[in-house]
Structure formats: C-alpha cells, structure tokens
Amino acid sequence: MSIVPLRGERALPRVASSRNGAGNRTHIDARQHVRQQGDFQVAGFLEGKNIAVTGAGSGIGKAVALHAASEGARVVVADYGVTMDGSNPTSEVADGVVAEIVGAGGTAVAVAGDVSEMAVGQAIVDAAISNWGSIDGVVCVAGILRERMLFNMSEAEWDDVVRVHLKGTFTVFRAALAVMRKQPTGGSLVGFTSGAFIGSTAQANYSAAKGGIVSLTKSAALTGLKYGVNANIIAPVAKTRMSDQVPFGLEMGAPEDIAPMVTYLLSDQAKDISGQIYTCVGPRISVWNQPKEVRSMFAPGLGRWTPEQIADILPRTIKTEEHPFLAELASRMKQMEERKAAEATAQG
C-alpha cells in the first residue's frame, strides 16, 4: 500500500497510473464504448474526453467516475481515502476504483491527497494532462462531515468542512480553468451542492460550504463564457454514507441515478448549458430557478424608510416567501410539544 501524506504535511500527492501486464498504459478499446441506437451504432457520450472526479472513491463520486469511463472517458480518480469525518487517509480507495475501471476495459489514474491543498488540486489536473494531453472536464464531489449544532460547533469543525468542500472545489476549478481557457475545446466544470438552499439544523458548516460552491460555480460560469468553459451544479439526493446522517425521511435515489446527468453535462451536447443547478432524485431530474426578486415595495414619497413604516407596510405588501423545511420543522416541533403536553396531562 502506498502512503498518502497526512493533512498538514506538504509532500506531493501520490499519483498512480494503470498499466497492463506488458508495462504499457492500458487504453480504451473504442469498440467497448459503441452502443446500438436504433439502426445506428454510436460512440460513448464522452469518447476521447479526459475527466477528473474528486471524491471518486465511493458514493456519488465513484458512480460518476465509473459511468464516465463506461461512456468512453479517461478518468482521473481522485480520493483521499478518508472516513466520513476526514480521518485515516489511504490510497487504496482510489486504487480500487482505478482497478475496477481498468478491469472493465477503461483507462484511469489515481490521485490520493487532500483536495483542499493547492498542490493536490493542481496534481489532479496535471495527471490528466501528463497522461493524456488535456483536461476536458472536472467534477468535484469530495467532502466530509462534522455534525454539530451551530451553538456547539468548534472552529476546527467549521474550518475542516468548509476547507474540504469549498476550497477543495476551488483548487480543482482554478487549476482546470487555467488550462481549459487555453484549449480550443474549452472544458466543463461540475460542482456538487446539497443543503445550500434550505440550511441544516446540525450541519451549518456543510450547508454554508455548499452555498459557497453555488456562488463559486456561477462565478466560474461567468468567467468561463469567453473561453468556451461551462460550469454547472448538481444538487443530488441519493443514499450515500453522508446522507445516512439525514435526521428524517427524504425521497432518495441511488448514486447511479445521478451519474448519467453528470455525463451529459460533461459532453459536447451540453456545451451551451452553463450556470444551472439540477437536482437528480431517482428517475426525476429538476432544474432550479435562478434567484431573483419576487416583490418590491417603495417608501412613501420615495424617501427613506423608517422601521415603523416597514412594520406597518411589509406584512400587507411584499410579505415573505415560505421556507418549506422551516415550516415542516416548526410543524414537527409543535406536534412534539402537543404530544408531551398530552402525556403530562394523562400522567397527572
């Protein structure tokens, strides 16, 4: 087993490549990525593309990496191999996914390192360029959890989660965009976020980091427009080791349900799609609206508002927009209080 550097060490990340028994790099046999569509045979959706996926050792990241490879892409499998809380790194996780891809006839290399380190983000992109000559798409899924109520959360619990999720997306996006802007074909960036729009009762660090990824990806979409680089966001709902921590029931699919949408966003057929947020849940794909003002009110005489005027006029005019999860949580809390009151009455 190769040893990966622990956090805080500045050793360069380990990069492993897949080779066949003869010592030559294993290449995709294009015939393995040809499928029948009606009366025609068509190549894989990502045939010839070089794609990097972070968090590719398990869950959604692994499903994305495997699906991209099955559609003809050469894949950089990036994963630090840590547990859900970010501890006990090992290169065996990324190596295992590479072996799975190669065993199915694909091409892949492994990068094991902390994606929040600038050197690791660069190494992930460099792995594609040094092995195959370009980087056509990156997908940032890597993340960890530090579950704690906001009033009990330590600085380290906040910093670790924001660092891996948000900075870990930045390091890869930055390195990739620096190369893609010079490529005639541009490229594609895909960020992952969930919990950014509704918040979280016990994972404020996670939802804040994911909100940052939304803004980062939308900024990348604006920056990349001139250079033929599109950037989009997947807000997934799937059963993974992280979603096991969700405290109450939500509709969930499997990681494999999300991978085809990511493959599409990485393909040439989605080059004109940018700055979008898509949710994938089982068989359902949804697009989110773009944030915009819903209603406005103006101060009397177009002067400056006073708090008294706002208190009088706001409830009758622009009002509020319902927060569905906040309303559900309030309803659950009320039910619990009523149940406790009923039990107390029965016991009294």
- Hey, which residues are catalytic here? 206
Estimate the share of the chain in helix, then strand, then coil, as percent rounded to the nearest 5.
Answer: 45, 15, 40
Please state, in angstroms and rounded to a whole number, the distance separating the CA atoms of residues 332 and 334.
5
Please state, in angstroms and rounded to a whole number, the distance separating the CA atoms of residues 3 and 287.
41
Structure tokens at 163: 């660092």
319 exposure class (CB count in 10 Å sphere: 0-12, 13-18, 19+): exposed
> What are the backbone angles phi and psi of residue 279, rounded to the nearest 5°?
-105, 135
Q: What is residue 103's three-state secondary structure?
A: helix
Please state, in angstroms and rounded to a whole number, the distance separating the CA atoms of residues 125 and 52.
7
CA atoms within 13 A on the CB side of 143: 31
190 contact partners, CB below 8 Å, separation of at least 6: 137, 138, 139, 140, 231, 232, 233, 234, 262, 265, 266
Query: Distance from CA of residue 72 to its chain's centroid?
Result: 22
